[in-house]
Chain A
């Protein structure tokens, strides 16, 4: 990891992301491999001697200690003088926008406030690395979105190296510089959020991050600029030419559900136009969600609800779905 980098460990529950975090914090010993913090091997360093800051999903505030004593805890064991502890606690509570709450007890705070105290307590010791274990998942949706922005701002401002564990792909997309996708104890893929979203190398990542339509097919033609993929029991899709693919290769194509266009009439020209029938239609507020039967395949499509018409298309309507060739992703099939 680079200094001041924000790294996410993303994966479904039980994929080993929390265990990885606990190994870094020193709560568990790795059966193999090594942990280095600031270039130093810490495998045999006990948790209380590693300078890591931790925020748990349930915040783990000491219920019998005031906010002040919670935040001052780490400083006390770093043997700071009393005055300096007071100063630092005050500053860190200001950093998380909770000034003046020193005397309160955790049970007197809202979930969001508890979260901020937990963050202040982890940051006040100026840890070498900040470890966040799903810190936002106990908050309600609105507060979560707000805390997400705040967390990122604080992280940037003090430039702290951060490892963030989450099962929420949206959270990892918006927060991280780099995301590591884990599944069943191993790393599947890593990259920037953009790379993982646009150029995933595996179907697992493509399906875990974002909403995609997957269709199996075979490369039927390789041209100068583009290639054609014949979908099993469905249409032929044109994709930009990519290195390493040959005619006859089995592939899975994936199309993000927001990259499909739904048209009421057949367009006069254009590639990748598929005719289908609306199988299901839903109004979601900011979006419409359709399921379209195209040949043997069902495709999910979302379109922006930018009119006040209730549903532009209804179940049973005949429609045409179109996707730009550059928006069709390819995953090699083993």
Chain B
């Protein structure tokens, strides 16, 4: 009898296993197929196309392309630095708030994201343009005699991108500061470290995973930025994504365009790889949720 029931239960188990396998396929199948078809396959085609001809050699040896690559890196690094310096204090402040007030501040923080990105970027014209707010003020107090050119500079791109990336910097840092055990802070004070030393010895080092997440997200978004450099930088200040678009749509140079795209993808993946080695991608999920 026991034998019988065992074979019965094993049959049932196999059936259940098959059912759960089918369930898994039904659940992730469509999404997976979509990604393979529209992301993986084009990516492979891109890589193959980029290898035809001496595209990479051409990019490295041509000053224009080198400049664009360097500008993209420079802008991304600057955006990271400014976002970090501006975002860390906000994240820290946020983590120390009581939970009700915190919700209000988070909503305020995310509010700009509800406004179309294009509109937000164009609105910088009213701030930085030759008849914009900044020039108006500077002329008004007599610091300058003629309008300063703020638009269509690298600085304008950095400014616009920082405005975009700040929430991506603030939220992971906030999340890691908020998770620090308050006992550690108190312990540090108990052992004789004042507020500043406690921040340096305990809070900041323990918030580094959040800083790393923020820096990674900020770097990736600004390195591959398209709209901001296109609008605030203009053709003279093109970044890598703008160049890709130009190569594909205007110059119809597909081998060079694909090579440029591959460089963009490799740098991005490289950063994610380093992040995963040092901090761990699972930490990113933790930080975002």
A residues touching B (Cβ–Cβ < 8 Å)? 25-27, 46-50, 52-54, 56, 58, 60, 62-64, 73-74, 77-78, 121, 125
User: Looking at the complex, which of B116-124, B135-143, B190-198 is the stretch in contact with chain A?
Assistant: B190-198
Give, as a whole number of angstroms, the nearest-CB distance from A135 to chain B. Answer: 12
Interface residues of B toward A: which range?
Answer: 10 to 19
Contact A48 B189 (CB under 8 A): yes
What is the predominant secondary structure among interface residues of chain A facing chain B? loop
Docked complex Cα distance between A49 and B193 (Å): 8
Q: State A60–B184 Cα separation when bound (angstroms).
A: 5
User: Which residues of chain A are near B190, meaning CB under 8 Å?
Assistant: 25-27, 47-48, 50, 52-54
Report yes or no: B186 in contact with A47, Cβ–Cβ below 8 A: yes
Please judge, given known A-B contacts A46-B189, A47-B189, whether A77 and B183 are in contact too, CB under 8 Å.
Answer: no
Question: Are B184's CB and A48's CB within 8 A?
Answer: no
Contacts of A49 in B (CB 8 A): 192
Contact A54 B193 (CB under 8 A): no
Residues of chain B within 8 A (CB-CB) of A53 are 190
Chain B: CB-nearest residue to A131 = B190
Instruction: Give the nearest-CB partner of B202 in chain A.
Output: A62
CA distance A48 to B194 in the complex (A): 6
- 10 residue pairs, one from A and one from B, having the closest CB atoms: A77-B192, A74-B191, A60-B183, A47-B189, A60-B187, A48-B189, A54-B190, A56-B183, A73-B191, A64-B205
Task: Report the nearest A residue to B193, measured CB to CB.
Answer: A77
Residues of B within 8 A of A (CB): 181, 183-184, 186-194, 197-198, 201-202, 205-206
Residue contact B201 to A58, C-beta cutoff 8 Å: no
CB-nearest residue of chain B to A74: B191
Nearest residue in B to A79 (C-beta to C-beta)? Answer: B192
Contacts of B201 in A (CB 8 A): 62, 73
Chain A positions within 8 Å of B198 at CB level: 48
CA distance in complex: A73, B197 (Å): 11
Q: Are B192 and A78 in contact (CB under 8 A)?
A: yes
Residues of A within 8 A of B202 (CB): 62
Q: Which of B181, B186, B192 has the most CB of A within 10 A?
A: B192
A77-B197 contact in complex given A58-B181, A63-B206, A64-B205, C-beta closer than 8 Å: yes
Residue of A nearest to B190 (CB): A54
Q: Which single residue of chain A is at the shortest CB-CB distance from B208? A: A64
The residues of A that contact B184 with a CB separation of less than 8 Å are 60, 62
